[in-house]
Chain A
Amino acid sequence: MKRIINIALLSLIVIVALSACSSDTSSEAQGSDYPSKSIQIIVPWDAGGDTDAVNRLIAKELETILDTEVVVKNIAGGSGVVGAQQALNADNDGYTLLSIHDSVAMSQLTGQSDFGYFDFEPISLMTSTYDAVATHPDSPWNSMEDVIQYAKENPGEISYAASIGSTSQLEPALIETAAGVDFNIVGYDGTAKRMKAVVGNDVDLGGVSVLAGKDYLEDDRMKLLGYTGGERSEVLPDLPTLKEQGIDVESATNRGLVAPKGTPEEIVEKLSNALKEVANSDSFKTKMDELGTDVNFKGTEEYVEFLEKNEADMKESLEKSGLLAE
């Protein structure tokens, strides 16, 4: 008797375990009855980051709009390449989506991956987040103009913290080309370590989110020198943009959703319409405000144009700063 119970228990465990591993391949995805099962959004970054937060909020809103379960699955590593690769190989039935930002093009252009934006089906752009350039309160500079002047006199001396594969890597490169200066770009593994380096005065400059920056500014732990948006931020209206300070740079982390190549057009359209509803909902807008992020919805066609321009611009600046892969 005991033996039978043991065997039953064991087989139960095995069944549960195997069912957890299996992926449902019997998909009869047609636009009309989509979605008939749960949708997963691959977030190629760790849980707890900004990209994760934005996507979890999107997933929550989508669930009510599409009336199905929407699951966020974190597959981190290789500056977003590992998770993106999984989405690249996933079934194109609309049940696997990938959250992307500028890192996709950056990884391709710097030679870390062999695929880019258009190896996927773009769905919609959701948000754009701009940064502030920060320095330690003890540093001698009070504006980006001071920084540029010093950098011109002492090329390569100002250190600039960058987290590889995020827009914080692109920012210094863009400023270098726009202002004709040279920074000493120092790599930091992740946002937390980069922030610590600026607050601890290990490094001269680094990008921070405006909301975090605002608190550090009030607590006199950072000076903010410039904003990377086209217009001033509502959070920090006193902070001049880089453009106002004569540096022709606008740089953001643009987060959107894509599907594997060949996903049926009706499904992409349906998703794009649902995401539009998400972007227009008051609850999502409030949440994004609280995150210091601008809602910047673009439907599929506009998003494709946006990505084309984004990739071309990025290529140009990476080429100028010598980061472009051969």
Chain B
Amino acid sequence: MEDILLSFETILNFQTISILLIGVVAGIIVGSIPGFTITMGVALTLPFSFSMDPINGIALMMGVQVGGSSGGLITASLLGIPGTPSAMATTFDGYPMVKNGEPGKALAIGLWSSFIGSIISGIILIFMAPILAEWALEFGPWEMFALMLFGISAIASLSEGSLIKGLISGILGIMFALVGSGPLMGIPRFTFGFSELLAGFNFLPVLIGLFAFSQLMNDIKNPPKPLNIDKNTDVTYPFVKVIKDMWKSAGNVIRSGLIGTFVGILPAAGGSIANILSYDVAKKFSKNPSKFGKGTKDGVIAAESANNSSVGGALVPMMAFGIPGDAVTAMMLGALIIHGIQPGPLLMENQPILANGVFISFFLAAFLMLAVQSFGIKIFLKINKIPFHYLVPIVLLLCVLGSFAVNNRIFDVWVLLLFGLIGYWMKVNKFPLPPFILGIILGPMVESNLRQAISLEPNLLVFFTRPISAVLIILAMLSMAYGIYSNNKSKKQIV
């Protein structure tokens, strides 16, 4: 108890709170710019954090991460381009919602879902970190393989229209992910002697190419009707309605928050998987799955509460074991190491003030994010007033810059262009893009976990004798079957 009070004392001072605030604002900005990721933003804060107290350094990074996770929402809804990889599924319903003339609603609902998602994961983090971290240790390569299989099964339900085209798209994604040095033994694959390809296709330029670049080309060809916001007086969505909407979808909010937290806890999963998975689950649980993709609030709620709650989830293994849950927590641990604090299973015991400080700064960041964004919504909505012939080149420029910055090489800019063309071609020919992304993220994880599992225990039955793995594999089967079933049903309805 004394420790907690002491932590409050270290956190609740002008300096730390202003650092958090700067972090949150910076996070919202990098999160909302397509091409710039939260990881990049946090990496930029690394050098500053060295000259600060450890807790201030962590607060700065925390602010960027929490702010960034909600910042992706802005561009995802208003432009149909995910501002960060973890806002991918937000585009599925956020953008249609804006096209339907409800931009204020899309942002307000997304914002509150982000906030509640953060709070859910924060509560879980504080009360259950040690237990959950212990449970996550049960996830060996067998369980991780089964979970990733479950993730891949979402291809079936995310293939709007044609299942065959969805499968082709997913397989293409997996194939592109094969390029580079192999995940386990580092053997170069499909690099054709180019050392640039050893690192594979970086996920970020691929994603911006597929989603942003192709969307922009599409917009140039068929310019979207400008939203007449001036005449529409009801741009900002009244607070009472937000609360009412959220309350009606309470089950969805909580479920998505839990999915996000849990996915965040598992090593190397992270926000982008949480975002898509919880969208897919929400669609399956929904009474009106046909509304998904056309601008339903439940789609936005699921996507946004999951990506923010995965942030709290990623802190669980970091606090309990000193094992990072994602790239950002890895950098937080790096900053602690530079300050001479060894992150490990004894972190909470040896550094109670710091540990509580991490928890408190997480909550504070969530509240600051809510405040800054509520204030900013009116400004963000003005994006729609920028004439299209200015907006498109600016966004393109930022995409190119971001692709360059991801690894400081021009090569990634070419990757962006290549995947932009692929994405545009797929769009024109009605190949769904989400399965491609699922393939490119999950393909390598399926592979490395399967290979680890087999090299540890050649007997494949182990996948079914380990209970968690067995349950997940059955769920994956069911999810696939259900996806195919509902896909057929919706096709019949169209006919």
Contacts and interface: CB of A to CB of B under 8 A. Distances in A.
A294 to B, nearest CB: 16
A56 B46 contact: yes
Contacts of B407: 74-77, 82
Interface string B307-340: 0000000000100011110010011111101101
Nearest to B43: A47
Given A76-B407, A79-B186, A195-B323, A47 B46 contact: yes
A165 B186 contact: yes
Interface string A169-204: 000000000000000101111001101110111110
Given A75-B407, A82-B198, A86-B409, A212 B141 contact: no
B180 A78 contact: yes
A53, A112, A192: which has the most chain B beta carbons within 10 Å? A192
A33 interface: no
B195 A159 contact: no
B337 A50 contact: yes
A108 interface: no
B199 A76 contact: yes
A171 B342 CA distance: 23
A53, A203, A216, A287: which has the most chain B beta carbons within 10 Å? A53
Nearest to A79: B186
A212 B318 CA distance: 13
B345, B397, B455: which has the most chain A beta carbons within 10 Å? B345
Interface stretch (A12-20, A123-131, A261-269, A300-308): A12-20
Given A112-B198, A187-B183, A193-B267, A53 B324 contact: no
B344 A219 contact: yes
Q: Is the interface of B mostly helix, strand, loop or mixed?
A: helix
A6 B401 contact: no
Interface residues on B, range: 35 or more
B65 to A, nearest CB: 13
Contact of A49 (B332, B334, B404): B334
B337 A291 contact: yes
Nearest to A112: B186
Interface residues on A, range: 35 or more
Contacts of A196: 137, 267, 317, 321, 323
B201 to A, nearest CB: 11
Contact of A60 (B50, B195, B202, B344): B50
A74, A75, A186, A201: which has the most chain B beta carbons within 10 Å? A186
Nearest to A200: B137
Contact of B334 (A48, A78, A202, A214): A48
B199 A53 contact: no
A186 B456 contact: yes
Contact of A192 (B180, B195, B323, B452): B323
B344 A216 contact: yes
A192 B333 CA distance: 11
Interface string A67-83: 00000111111110110
B168 to A, nearest CB: 28
Contact of B452 (A21, A57, A186): A186
A197 B141 CA distance: 9
A164 to B, nearest CB: 4
Contacts of A57: 338
Interface in B418-459: 448, 451-452, 455-456
B482 interface: no
A184 B184 CA distance: 13
A159 B451 CA distance: 13
Contacts of A290: 337, 340, 342
Interface string A31-64: 0000000000000001111101100110010000
A10 B267 contact: no
Contacts of A76: 199, 407
Contact of B185 (A86, A164, A195, A219): A164
Interface in B252-280: 267-268
A287 B50 CA distance: 12
B394 A13 contact: yes
B402 to A, nearest CB: 11
A196 B196 CA distance: 30
B285 interface: no
Interface string A94-106: 0000000000000
Given A75-B408, A219-B344, 13 more contacts: A47-B331, A76-B199, A77-B180, A81-B181, A82-B407, A82-B409, A159-B455, A164-B185, A186-B452, A187-B185, A187-B451, A200-B140, A287-B340
6 residue pairs, one from A and one from B, having the closest CB atoms:
A77-B199, A187-B184, A78-B198, A215-B344, A48-B334, A290-B340
9 contacts: A48-B335, A76-B407, A78-B199, A85-B196, A159-B455, A192-B324, A195-B321, A212-B343, A215-B346
Interface of B: 43, 46-47, 50, 137-141, 180-181, 183-188, 195-196, 198-200, 202, 267-268, 317, 321-324, 327, 330-335, 337-338, 340, 342-347, 390, 393-394, 397, 400-401, 404, 407-409, 448, 451-452, 455-456
